[in-house]
Every structure is written in C-alpha cells, then in structure tokens.
C-alpha cells in the first residue's frame, strides 16, 4: 500500500510539473512578442508625418478658394451680369468682419458689354450653423438679351434683342432648424427694370413689336419681389453631390408700384441623385415646373416670363430661346467618377413652355443631348464644360456651377 501511495504522489507531481512547464515557457514568449509590438509601434511613430496633399488636391483647393468660396482679399470674379452675356472677367475685394462673416465688393465686364457691380454681406453660420444670411446690393446692365417670341413654336429666325439696366437690393435668409433635411428660405428684393434698345446684329425689340403686342416694352418697372421656400434637402452639398436629393416649393410675389405688371409665381423642383457602384456611377434626375398668375387685370411683362434655353437648363438651345407664362424642364444625367476631382457625364434635357398650365405635357417637348466634364472638390463644382446637341445646332457651355 505504501508503494502504491508513493507511486500516486509521484504521478500527480509529474502531471502538475508537465502542466506548469508550458505556462512558464509561454511567459517569456508572450513578453518578447509584446516587446516586439511596442518596438514596431515606436519605430512607426518616428516615421509618422503630417498628411501632405497631392498636387491635384492643392490645385483644386486653390481653385475652390479662388472661384467658388474666395478667401483671398483680392480674387477674380467671372460671373456674368445676365445669362447670354458671353465670357465675363472681373475682380473682387473681400474682407472678413469676423471669423465667418464677410463683405465682398466685386464687378465684371463681358465680351458683349454686359456690366455688373455689387456688394454682398454674408453670414453663413448664424444660430449655431442653422442659418445663413446674404445681403446684396448692386447694379447690372445687359445690352443684347434675346427674345424669340412667345411659345414653344417660336422660330429662331425671329430673334430680336433688348437691353435693360437694373439697380437692386435684396436680403435672403436660409434656415435649417435641425441642420438636416428641412430647409426654409425667405427673402425680398427691391429692383427697378429700365428697358432700353438692344444692340448687336439682330433688330431691337421696338422695331418688331409695339407696347400693345409686347407687354412691358419700353417701360421702367419697380418691383418688390418677396419669396418663400419650403423644401427637404439631404444632399451633402448643393454645389456638388453624388447622393441625396432635394424636393421643394417656392412661392414668389412681384408687386409693381404702378399696378401694371404685378404677378405671382410658384416653382416646383425635385432633384434626386441615385448612386451606383459605391458612387462611382450616379444617375442624377431633375425636374422643374414654373407657373405664373396675373394679378387682376395686370400683365406679366415679357422680360419676366419663365424661359428655357442656355447653359443652366435646355443646354442645346440659345439662352432665352423659349418663353411663356409657364415652363416645364426635365433633365437626366449619367455621371461617371474618373477620379476624386474629375467626373464625366452623359445627359439628356427636355422642356416645354405654354400659356396655360394645363398645356404643359410630354407631347411637345424640345430636347437635346450631350456630353460633359466637371472639375470639382468634395463639396463644390469648380468648372463645368458641356457640349450639347439639339435640332438647332451644337452649343458649348462653360460654367462655374452645377446644372443642378
């Protein structure tokens, strides 16, 4: 019995020793592995450097700070006084009155002698970044704005030109109560439209029409324009987006001091970006309907009518090609991301104007198609180039803003 007990004790001791050996053996191994990890981290920490933007990133940031959101004291300003004025060049002087609030004094002159001068005060981060305020005062002069007549069946051969001068002042407040989705916007503008003869190679409007056949011809009209927008916006940014959408309604009231050309207008707009393949491809859709109503026996002047044509809507047609009291615009783009700063797009535009809202349908649409290239930052479009083809020819568009 004594021999058996001795054997059992020895067996237990051997088993305990065998179980303990791996523990003692693993301890140095674990310590050495931890030390290796710490040494690798220390070596990597010595090699860490601040992120250095690539040449492409520096170029696009500089372009954005110069043309889209200028932060320099002196900056180029290439916005035209009015659509159809051709290439414009100008200069601006900006200074910040606080961390985010600024005053910008700027002006431009186009190849068709369109002139623009204005002063803007901007406060983009009011109420804890829930609101933005813009106050604007200025003057512009357009010399050869096109008018082709009323309706979708107007002929391109009937073009006439008119000009106008317009001093104006406005205030616009945009509020996003929750910083997301719901968007409220309201504002007013006081302006005076002084019509004058058109210049250029086409006849002036007073040579073709009379005040009886063209309401507003040869007049000076002072408008108080008030507006209000209610919308839902979940795009990352309005100036460039590959996902999200915007759906909104805008009501406008134009009060003529002389009670001759007062009217109301309601705009319905929808934008939807549908990402494909992790946003490498995007299907972008846009719809806009503009409708007007006269006040009692007053008229909507020809120069204030909704219009189609130009680089911001029906791109295959000349600026202001179609005008009437109501308009419908439908657009679709297939956008392909080439790299972080460059997209291409295949697009199709369709639109119609009509004297009555009930006449707006899909049976008499004017259409165009084309190809475009866009240089952009993550939140803004720096340069947009579109080539559009319609039954009236081919047009080339250069712009510093998205089409929608």
Alpha-carbon distance of 246 to 180, in angstroms, equals 12
On the question of pLDDT at 69 being above 70, the answer is no
Distance from C-alpha of 80 to C-alpha of 324, rounded to nearest angstrom: 24
The CATH number linked to 295 is 2.40.160.50
Are residues 134 and 34 both part of a single domain? no
pLDDT above 60: residue 24: no
Phi, psi of 89 (to 5 degrees): -135, 145
Tokens of 112: 């068709």
Neighbours of 253 (CB within 10 A): 16
Looking at the fold, whether 295 and 211 belong to one and the same domain comes out as yes
Helix/strand/coil (H/E/C) assignment for every residue in 236-284: CCCCCCCCEEEEEEEEEEEEECCCCCCEEEEEEEEEEEEEECCCCEEEE
pLDDT tens string 209-267: 999 999 999 999 999 999 999 999 999 999 999 999 999 999 999 999 999 999 999 99
Whether 69 maps to a domain, the answer reads yes
Instruction: For residues 71 and 90, state if they share a domain.
Output: yes
Backbone phi, psi, residue 221, to 5°: -120, 130
DSSP 8-state secondary structure symbol assigned to residue 15: H
Is the residue at 404 inside a domain? Answer: no
Name the 3-class secondary structure at 290. strand
Q: Does residue 261 share a domain with residue 113? A: yes
What band does 325 get if pLDDT is binned at 50, 70 and 90? very high
* Residue among 180, 174, 173 nearest 233 (CA): 180
Q: Is residue 198 part of a domain?
A: yes
* 132 plus 194 within the same structural domain: yes
Closest CA to 105 of 75, 84, 129: 75
Residue pLDDT, tens place only, 70-125: 666 899 999 999 999 999 999 999 999 998 999 999 999 999 999 999 999 999 99
Same domain, residue pair 41 and 79 = no
Residue among 119, 123, 75 nearest 99 (CA): 123
How many domains, the chain? 2
User: Cα 101–233–263 angle (5° rounding)?
Assistant: 85
- The contacts of residue 71 (CB under 8 Å, 6+ apart) are 65, 94
Q: Could you report the per-residue pLDDT of 178-187, keeping only the tens digit for each?
A: 988 999 999 9
Q: How confident is the model at residue 36 (pLDDT cuts 50, 70, 90)?
A: confident
| CA atoms of 336 and 352, how far apart (whole Å) | 28
| C-alpha span between 255 and 178 (Å, rounded) | 33
Give the range of the structural domain holding residue 35, as residue numbers without chain letter: 1-48
Asked if residue 228 and residue 188 are part of one domain, the reply reads: yes
Strands (E), 127-262: 131-147, 160-175, 181-197, 220-233, 244-256
What average pLDDT does the segment 327-334 reach? 98
- Shared domain check, 143 and 12: no
The per-residue pLDDT for 53 is: 73
């Amino acid at each position: 019995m004594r021999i058996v007990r001795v054997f059992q004790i020895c067996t237990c001791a051997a088993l305990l020793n065998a179980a303990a050996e791996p523990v003692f053996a693993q301890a140095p191994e674990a310590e050495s592995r931890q030390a290796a990890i710490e040494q690798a981290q220390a070596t990597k920490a010595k090699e860490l450097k601040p992120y250095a933007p690539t040449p492409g990133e520096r170029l696009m940031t500089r372009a954005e700070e110069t043309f889209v959101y200028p932060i320099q004291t002196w900056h180029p300003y290439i916005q035209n006084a009015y659509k159809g004025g051709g290439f414009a060049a100008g200069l601006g002087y900006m200074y910040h009155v606080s961390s985010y609030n600024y005053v910008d004094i700027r002006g431009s002159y186009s190849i068709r002698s369109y002139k623009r001068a204005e002063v803007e005060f901007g406060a983009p981060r009011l109420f804890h970044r829930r609101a933005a305020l813009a106050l604007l005062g200025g003057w512009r002069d357009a010399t050869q704005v096109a008018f082709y007549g009323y309706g979708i069946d107007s002929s391109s051969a009937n073009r006439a030109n008119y000009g106008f001068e317009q001093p104006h002042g406005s205030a616009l407040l945009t509020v996003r109560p929750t910083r997301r989705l719901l968007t409220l916007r309201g504002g007013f503008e006081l302006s005076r439209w002084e019509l004058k003869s058109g210049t250029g190679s086409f006849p002036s409007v007073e040579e073709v029409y009379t005040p009886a056949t063209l309401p507003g011809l040869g007049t000076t009209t002072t408008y108080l324009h008030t507006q209000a927008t209610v919308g839902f916006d979940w795009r990352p940014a309005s100036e460039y987006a590959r996902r999200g959408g915007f759906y909104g309604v805008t009501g406008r009231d134009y009060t003529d001091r002389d009670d001759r050309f007062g009217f109301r207008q309601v705009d319905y707009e929808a934008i939807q970006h549908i990402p494909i393949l992790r946003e490498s491809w995007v299907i972008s859709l846009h719809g806009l309907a503009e409708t007007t109503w006269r006040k009692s026996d007053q008229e909507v002047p020809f120069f204030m009518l909704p219009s189609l044509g130009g680089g911001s809507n029906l791109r295959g047609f000349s600026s202001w090609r179609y005008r009437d009291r109501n308009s419908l615009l439908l657009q679709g783009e297939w956008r392909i991301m080439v790299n972080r700063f460059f997209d291409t797009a295949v697009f199709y535009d369709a639109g119609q104007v009509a004297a009555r809202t009930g006449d707006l349908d899909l049976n008499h649409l004017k259409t165009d198609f084309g190809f475009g290239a866009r240089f952009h930052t993550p939140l803004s479009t720096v340069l947009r180039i579109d080539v559009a083809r319609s039954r009236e020819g081919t047009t080339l568009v250069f712009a510093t803003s998205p089409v929608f």
